[in-house]
Amino acid sequence: MFTAHLSQYFHLHPWLVAGTAAVAMLAVLIEIRARSESFASISAQEAIQLMNRGALTIDLRSAEQFAAGHVAGARRMDGEQILKAGDVLKKHKQKPVIVYCNSGSLAAAAVRKLREQGFAQAVNLRGGITAWRTENLPVEKGAGSHA
């Protein structure tokens, strides 16, 4: 009985059924993408562990923001430099690379670009420098190192 009603519903409302199916597929795709990107995202504590093992840390913020406070040992790079990182940072391709910005959203895109260039261990600092500071972790001030 139920399947007959369901069949009749599908027949009477094909656009509604198609729209519902499309939204369901979109939700699945968004979830898959979010999960695949989350593996490339680490906490501040995990970042410290990687830094202790020699990870390269890249700050994507402006020079002024960088000078106001950055993760110790971080190297400042802008978006254009990230696109050329495969050439500039060749010796770091086999090392972990931690990328951060203010909140983590720009860094996630940079991590995708770095991975496309062969940086298999590139990761995003989840929450960016904001999360780092929230955990009361130290920052260096000044110009520091540049790419």
Which residues are marked as active site? Answer: 101
Amino acid making up residue 53:
R
H or E segment to which residue 6 belongs: helix 2-12
d(CA 58, CA 55): 10
DSSP-based three-state secondary structure for 42: strand
Task: Using alpha carbons, list the distances in angstroms from residue 4 to 10, 11, 20, 21.
Answer: 10, 11, 20, 20
**Length of the chain in residues, anyone?**
147
Count CB atoms within 10 A of the CB of residue 69. 17
